[in-house]
Structures are given as C-alpha cells and as structure tokens.
Chains A and B, each alone.
Chain A
Amino acid sequence: MSARRLQSGGLIDRTQTLRFKWDGRDMTGFAGDTLASALLASNERVLARSFKYHRPRGIMSAGVEESGALVTVGTGDRRDPNVRATTQELYGGLVANGQNAWPSVRHDVSAVNGLFGRFFAAGFYYKTFMGIPPFEWGSGTGMWMQYEKIIRRAAGMGEASRAPDPDRYEHGHTHCDVLVVGSGPAGLAAAHTAAEAGLEVLLVEQDCELGGAYLSEPGAVEERQNAIKALNDAGVRIMTRTTAFGLYDYSVAGLLERVTDHLSAPSEHLPRQRFWTVRARYTVVASGALERSIAFGDNDRPGVMTAAAGRTYLNRYGILPGSKVIVATTNDSAYTGAAELCRAGAAVTVLDARRSVDNSVLDLARNAGTGLRLGAAPLRAIGGKGVYSLDLAASDGDGWRADGSENCDLVLVSGGWSPVVNLSSHRGAKPVWDAENACFMPAASDEPLTMAGSAAGIWNTKGCIASGQVAGAHAAKALGKSAPAASAPSAGGWASPIRPVYEVTVPRKKLKSFVDPQHDVTTSDVRLAHREGYVSVEHLKRYTTLGMATDQGKMGNIIGLALMADALGKDIPEVGTTTFRPPYTPISIGALSGSSVGAHFRPLRRTPMHDWNLEQNGTMTEAGLWQRPWYFARAGETITEAYIRETDTVRKTVGLCDVTSLGKIAVQGPDATELLNRVYTNPFAKLAIGKARYGIMLRDDGMVMDDGTTWRLSDTDYFMTTTTAHAAKVMVWLEELLQTRWTDLKVHVTTVSEQWAGCAVAGPKCREVLEACVADKTVMSSEAFPFMGVIETTLKGGMPCRIARISFSGEMAYEAYVPSDYAMPLMEMLWKAAEARDGCLYGTEALGALRIEKGHVTGAELDGRVTIDDAGLGKMASPKKSFIGSAMRSRGDMGREDRPRLVGIFPKNRTQSFNAGSILCAEGKVEGLGEGWITAVTHSPELGHWIGLGFISSGYEPWAGKTVIAADPVRKGNIEVEIVSPHMVDPSGERMHG
C-alpha cells in the first residue's frame, strides 16, 4: 500500500497542521483528520496486532465498525485502550500507541502464535486443558482451574490505566418532541420536516460533522451546507460528537456526548464526556448502514478495507489510499468510488462477483477508465504487513475457481450493506431478512419510532431524503401537527441486484478467511462449531466469540450467520439473528457513573452540628448516608481509649451526643392517637400530653420492625422518633398504611428529621447542664419535668426547644431538640455548661458501649428475624388490643421456647475479648449453626472487662453457669464465654430515674 495525501480536496484544513505522536514517533496531520486518516496519509500500514494470532492489522473502515485499527490513546492516568483510530479526532499533542504487541505493532514477537493457528481454533483452551488424561478423565476441571490463570493473563486487548481517572464526567437530562438520530441525508430531511411542522427537534450525530454520507460525496458540498442552514433556520437543536447508544421504554434514549476527547487543551471546567438521558415524544432513527466485507483468504491484511472507507479517505480526508487499487464488489455501490479513485490518479480494477451488471453502472467504470472483470472475486490477499497482490477467483457455477492474480497495494471490498438496525432492535423489534437486498431490515415498530434512510435499507441519496421527509411527517402527524405529504420510497434502489457473496473459496485450498477480525474468528471456526453440533446462532456466538468484540458484530455477524446457514443447509432467517443490545458503541465506565464518584459516590448527609463536631476533633463515621460523630479523641488517644473515657464520663458526670440522625416524624390529626395505637405493640391511647413513651412496631409478619419514643405535644399532635437506620422505612410504612389500609383515619405524617436537630444530654449532671441553658430553669425541676416527661420551652437567646427526659444510656438523660439552624448555638451553650462540669462529647462508639451495658437493642439485634419476645420485650405487646403484627406473632413457631433470645455475654477469662459475629456453641459441640450468635461487643468501663450482646436458644437462664464457646473460625478462634442477663449494668434501672 502506498497512500499519500492529495494536494487538494477533502474537508480537512491544510492550513492547520497538527503534530501528534504515534508509537513514540512524531507525526503530522491536518485539522479535520481522524487519527486513522492522518496515519493513512503518512502511509502507516500496521496499526495493530490481532487478538489471538497477533497478525498485523491496518485500517479496515472509516467509522465505528472499525475492527483493525484499535489503538491506545493517551498516557499515564489518561490511557484509553481499544480506541478506534477511525473515530478518534486528531488534535495537536495527541499521543497514541499500538497495543497487544511487543516490542511494537510492526515487530511483534507474539506473532509466532500465528504459526500455531490451527491449534488456536474455537474451543481450543477448553478442549486442551479440561480433563487431561491421565490426571483427569472426561470433563474434569481441576487442571483447568490451574491453567485458566495463565491463559487469562495472555488474553485481553490493550491495557487500561490502573490509576484513578483524573477526568470528570457528567450526567444530563433533556427533552424534545422529536429525537432524530443521525445527520445523513435522511436524518437532515427528517429533522427539517419535523421542525417545519412546529415541533422541537433534537438532532444527534456521532461524528464531529453533520452530513453522514454527504461528507464522502464530493458533489454534495452545497447540498449539505444548505440542509444544515435550513436546520439552523428552523431552530433544530444539534448535538455532534454524540452517540445515541440505546433506546429504552417510553421513548427514552441514552446519549453519550464526547465533550473534550478532541481537544488539545480542554477547559478545566468541562467534563470529558456527558451521559444524556433524552425523553422524546417521537424518535426517528436515521443511523445509516454499514458496508460488509467478504470472507476470503487473508482478508485481514493491512491494505484490505471496505470500499466505502476508500471513498471516504479520498473525498473527506483528501488521501489517495492506494496507487494500484482493486475494488471487489457484489453490488452497485462500489462503482462510484472506484471511478473517483481512478480520476484521482490510482490505477483501478473492479472485480464484480456478478456476471452481468446494468449498463448505467458499467458506464461509471468505463467512463472513468477503470479495469473491469465481471464474475470475479478476491480469493486471497498476498502480503504480510501490507498487501501487494491479490489471488483472484472466477465465478464457476454456484462456486468459484482460482483465476490468476493481480498486483495491487489496496483492496477495497463491498460485500453489501447492513442497515444499522441496532436501535430498533433495542426496542425488541426483531429485524427481518430481506433476501433481495441480502440484509436484515428493521421491523415495523408499534412505538413512536420510525427508521429512515439507509437504516431502512434505502440505497440512494434521493430515496434517503424522501424517506427522511416521510419519517418527519410521521412524527408530525403522531404529535398532532401537519406536514406536507410525501410518498415513501421502497427499500433497495440499485440498478442491478446484489449477488449475495459471503465467502470466496475454491476446492482443496486452505485459506485463513476472517469473519470477525477483532476476535480472530475465521470461517473454519464457524464450520467447526457446526461440526461440533451447534445449530443456533446464539450458540455459535458463544462458542466462537463471533460478534463479542468491541464492534459487537457490526462487521462479521451476517457473514457468520450466512456460513452457519450454509453449513446447516438452511436459509439465513431460519438460523436467526443475534439481538443487538445497548450500547451501540462502547461507553466508558466514567460516563456511566457521572458525578457519583469519590466523596459524591453517594450524597453525604450532614447534621447541623457537623462542622461543630469536627471543630471539637470529632472523628466521623457513616450511618447510612449520615455522617455521625464516632468518637472525640483527645491528644494521643486511640479510638478505644477515647470511647472508654467517654463512656466512663457519661456514667460519672455528663456527656453530649449529636443524635440528629434519629428519624423524626410529625404525626398530626384527630386520629393520630388511633394510628399510634394501631402501629405500636404497647398501648398509646392514654399517653398524656407532655409525656413520651417508648414503643415497638412490628411488621405484618409479627417480626420487630423498629423502636423509638413518641412524644405527645397536644391532643392531636405527636413527635415520633425512629432509629437512624429505619427512619425512611417507618415513614413510608405509615404513609402506606394511611393511604391504602386506613384511608378513613384523619392523620397526616410528615418527616421532620431535617427540621429538628437533637442532642442527648446524659449522665448524673445532665439536669445541671440544661438548667444552665434554659431561659427559665424552673421548667427543669423534677416535679415539673419527671422521667418520660416532655416540655416545649425556650433556651437562652430565645431559641425554641423541645426536651424529653428519656434515656438510651441508662443514666439520667434528656434529649433536646431545636430547629436545625439553631443547632450550632445549642451545642455551644450545652458544651460550655457540660465542660464546666467535667463532661465530655461522645460519639456512636461510646453510645454503643452504654447501650450494650444496658442491654438496649438497636438495628444490630433487630435484624428482621427477631420477635418482640426474642428481644426480651414481650411485656410490651399488649394482650388487650389489636396492632400491626399481633395476629401473626401468635403463630406456633413464634412462641417456641427454644427460639434464640437476647442475652448478655461475658468472657470466661475476664481479660479476654471476643468478636461480634461469632457463633455461640455449646461446649464440646462447635459445629453447624451453633446455638446462637453475637451481635455487639464492647469494653465495659463499668464492669472492667469485655461484654457482648447476642442471641442464644432459650435465653440466658438454661445457660447460666455453663461454659459456652464463641466460635470465630476465620478470625479469633474459639473463646470461652458465659451467658448472662442482657441487663449487665444497673439492671433495676434506678439511675435513669435520677
């Protein structure tokens, strides 16, 4: 191949030279080039090495279907493998490298694989390494497990950077009346017609330029410009460098916009790519058609490409891709390009597989002066790193015979055209085989979706324009607008029919003919699959990996299907077609995740005290999306030292803890009391105003759902608190009950979790602390504010506040809530008073220690498998009323005596510790599921040793005095423990009453 840039012509800007690096060498191209066209213009032949055989590969196409020129673009943390050089726009400073080769794609030592090609056929690894006698017989997989590791290392194409992606990605949403995919003659016409009808149109084009096939038509420059101007005048929204990669339910389309991939120095404010969700009312798909190759010997050699690609490189990029060109075709479409190449200075011979062709077509060749052979086809390309000759075949009956050879440096092939039916296939419309045009046509859709242009199998420009107009009119009509009537052109449009040729082969000649060059799948692999008994195209795909590479069968699927059909003696439609699934072209994972990465992987939920907690040296932990203070270490303290000190301080003086994350729900209305009485297991009908009550909710199935306190503020107004974990679940549950089961209840529930910020003030000195903060300290007296009392009062500074005297720690304690914007001043005031009393701030670790000592349950215990009796709270289930779960909790199994029940756990040797998650087993019987499990563990400053909570069958009484094993086989091993009452500290609860 000797390609060269022409002095004029094409859509490139020769005044703008771009410098780039290819495999470490300095190269140049022009603005408007792709990486492929720039390399072709520099006569670079070998751009890649193939997947399995490491065969040299060059440019095979000029678009997204590229299967040869897969390269790695970028360096360091911006290294992107498997980029199609044919779609990578050239920019100054671009760095690209060959891949899958060492030391380079031009000289690759692994090319030795090619010599053993016959051993690497489909299924080679499985057959060779599974069940190797005498080690294994038959289908053993033991050896395979070993070999697989080595085989996997050798597999794969290119290598992604292992560094974090430095680029930013974005999601976006947009809406339109009509989405038009593709801006070729059909897409431009459809967009224009719909816009003229008064619809809002969005036109998307994967290329950097609008025009589609116009871009490769030297005579269509003006036509294209006019069409674009008309679109702009009609107010059509246009997105270029944007691929519609998938169509989904309700006219939703997914787009990928490449924002900066073509820029040398993009603005730091722009994302690299945007992932768009488009909600359209109607979709017109004018996604074009892709030219197929033909399977013939060594058809993957650099210098063999599609006929349309040759034309594009000539007309769009101003390159004469070869000086001695053979154009092999089965249809009319290649003749125009052949004539143009001839006029541009190449010696061209056309091989047409057909024995007779319409004169109008032949005249194209004759007038340009190309050579012409009818009934001829390529048999084998000769050359290693570039083709220099082509063995020919002559039509012989239904088959072929060898017929000499001809020198050439470029072979352009047209095996026919495949409409890009991918997007309609995404919608479940199974493509229909059209034998006359030898391609799959899109099926009619019952959705607001129309295919237009060559995507609907229309082969000429005039027909495509008409088809676009009809599609635009369809859209207009569907959306209640009117558009000029247009008559739909029928599919096809060639002067002479295509001769369906998928493979050229002659008897007794061994050829390596590629069907899917990207995965090195050959015609022999397809036949082997048939011989091994595969009959379905889906099996063929999985056995040979045909159509599994990054092009997803754009080039090879039809050939593979045709060969399979031939082997089976069936017609193509009987063998089926593979279903196309999104995405149409590959999408980076970065674009899928958008801005949901790093710190914003999930949104952070901060309490209004968050910054204040940090200022006090708080270390945060995640509780769902919430950020909660974990512990407040003083200088030199470890987490263990910090939480033990905090726990101790709460028991001795006073501690403050941010409890804002608890769920809070306003329950309001005349029937609020009734609702609470139905959802809580314990009676709520007579809760006095100004009082709080601890309550437990069950699920319908009788298992515990959540617990919390509910405060009665007025006759019809309650303030419910839930656990942090179940706040949303409880809120949704209450709404569901009110909206579906108890629609007669006059109750409104509203989440006020964000409205109120809360602080627990716990410890013997808690009242003193609050007395220092309330405007009128008499409200804090034990008479005015008894245990389980609730007050609404004012703090110093005029802050409104609601306080309940409730305890989670087991100490005398309050929970004080202020509207969230007052949280910081609240903490300032409380801390001033607490610090003066040798108090502390405490976090969730100390909170956990305090509650474990008391045997108070949380989400770790209430895991959905626990009944109210299992949790030791059976007394809270009222026998006198019906409540959610009351029926199901009386099922036989729920009352079984030997159910696991909540217990406390001490290490037998008090100096030892044990792990949460350990399995509790009877001594001498460490096996199976054991007798129970450990849910929570802490060091108890009060008791001076480690303690835990957990569940064990029948509860603690039968186990009293016995040794039990806390089995932790993968971490600590077996630890001897004792089972005790879960109420390990202050079991009578005197302290919290003050």
Chain B
Amino acid sequence: MVDRVSALDGHYKKGRFGEAGEAGLMLQEIRDLTLHQVAAWPETLTSTGNKAARVVGKQSAPGPCAAAVGKKGALLRIEPLKWWVFGVEAPKLKPADGTALDISHSRTHLRVSGARASEFLNRNLPLDLRDEAFPVGSVASSSMHHVGVTLWRSDHGYELFMPRGFALSLWEVMFETAQQFGVDIL
C-alpha cells in the first residue's frame, strides 16, 4: 500500500520556534486519520448511536456537543443526527438504521496542547474555551480564519479537525500566531 500524503507534507517542520523560554504551546499533526461519519434517522437515533458507540468500546453514544472515548476509539456528536467515529472503522449499518461514510481523508488533524493552548486557539477561534464552558469531552463546530472547523477537547489537549484543502492555509496562519507563545512543533 502506498503511503498517505498529508496536506501539510513539505510545509510542516518539527522543532522549537518563536519566543524563547518555556514553550507555552505544542502543535502536533496526527497523521493517517481514520474518521467515519455515522448518521441516524430520527427514530433510530438511540439504536444507531449505540451501534456506533460499541465500535469505539462504549455502550451508549454521547449527547450533543460531547465526545465519548472508548478503548478502541472515540465517538463525537457533531450534529443532531450525526456522529464522527474516530480511530476505528464505522459499524455496518442497514439503510433503515442510518448511513455510514468514510471521511478519513477529508480533514487534517492537529493536536494543540500546552499551558497557553486555549489562549492560542482563541486568537482565531471565537469559542468559549474556559474549563467550565468547554471541559474535556466537549465537541463543537466553529470557524477559524473564515474556515469551518471541528474542535474536540480530549485528555491530550485540543483535537482540531480542519478541512484538508484549507489545512495548509490555516497552518500558516496558526504558525505565525504561535510564535509569540513559544511553540514546540512535535
């Protein structure tokens, strides 16, 4: 199998950049994303949600704006009738249950962490990221620099999913913004 080529390949350089001192920020592209959309019908919301939950190793699906993390992957509620299955294949669904769709290549996945991660993201992202408003396990759709993005706060930091075609442009904007915090590109 040929290797996957990321949207940031050739433009992503690891290392320490920007302001000296302790890095306030870590940015890391997580490559080879596995991401599937599972969509239910109104009457199959619970049953199809639970099917999706089981593939990630959970019993039930998360509610709006939330994620559930299982042993095999994570399930993110991204729309009233839709989830993203992260890290594993989608469950097999009958048309009457809902639909599944592979969107693994549609997004570029960037992990943002470090003491000043929220502050950094808020330079370009209007979401309220304070701990009470956006605790670990939160999921939201928003926009950065005119582009729709999806943000999930995991145990590792912020998981940012950017449309692949805009990823390099957003990366350039973010890389410039990141300098002032002192950034480790992992």
Contact = CB atoms under 8 A, between A and B. Distances in A.
Interface of A: 168, 170-175, 200, 267-271, 277, 279, 595-596, 599-600, 602-608, 611, 625-626, 660, 666, 668-670, 715-717, 746, 748, 750, 752-756, 797-799, 819-825
B37 A269 contact: no
B105 A821 contact: yes
Interface residues of B, number: 53
A797 B96 contact: no
A726 to B, nearest CB: 17
Given A754-B163, A797-B2, A669 B19 contact: no
A822 B122 contact: no
A835 to B, nearest CB: 19
B178 to A, nearest CB: 9
22 contacts: A173-B122, A175-B128, A200-B130, A267-B19, A595-B176, A596-B146, A599-B172, A603-B166, A603-B169, A608-B5, A666-B101, A669-B41, A717-B99, A748-B82, A750-B37, A750-B39, A752-B106, A753-B165, A798-B2, A820-B105, A821-B32, A824-B5
A823 B39 CA distance: 27
A605 B133 CA distance: 32
Nearest to B125: A173
B173 interface: yes
A753 B103 CA distance: 10
A752 B5 contact: no
B95 A607 contact: no
Given A172-B123, A174-B122, A603 B106 contact: no
A604 B2 CA distance: 27
Interface in B114-159: 122-128, 130, 133, 145-147
Interface of B: 1-7, 9-10, 18-19, 32, 37, 39, 41, 81-82, 95-96, 98-99, 101-107, 122-128, 130, 133, 145-147, 163-166, 168-170, 172-173, 176-177, 179-180
Contacts of B166: 603-605, 625
A349 to B, nearest CB: 53
A267 B164 CA distance: 32
B39 A748 contact: yes
Contact of B126 (A277, A717, A753, A797): A277
A670 B95 contact: yes
B113 to A, nearest CB: 19
Given A267-B19, A596-B145, A602-B146, A755 B165 contact: no
Contacts of B37: 750
* Nearest 5 CB-CB pairings of A with B: A821-B4, A269-B179, A819-B105, A755-B106, A668-B99
A604 B1 CA distance: 30
A755 B103 contact: yes
A268 B82 CA distance: 44
Given A173-B126, A279-B126, 18 more contacts: A174-B122, A175-B133, A269-B18, A269-B180, A277-B126, A603-B166, A605-B165, A606-B169, A668-B39, A715-B95, A750-B37, A752-B101, A754-B103, A754-B106, A754-B165, A799-B2, A821-B4, A824-B5
A171 B169 contact: no
Contacts of A716: 95, 99
Given A173-B125, A175-B130, A798 B1 contact: yes
Contacts of A821: 4-6, 32, 105
A825 B169 contact: no
Contacts of A168: 176
A277 B124 CA distance: 11
Contacts of A753: 165
A755 B102 contact: yes
A861 B66 CA distance: 45
B168 A606 contact: yes
B180 A270 contact: yes
Among B103, B105, B124, B126: residue with most chain A CB under 10 A: B105
Nearest to B19: A269
B105 to A, nearest CB: 4
A599 B1 CA distance: 36
Contacts of B168: 604, 606
A538 B172 CA distance: 47
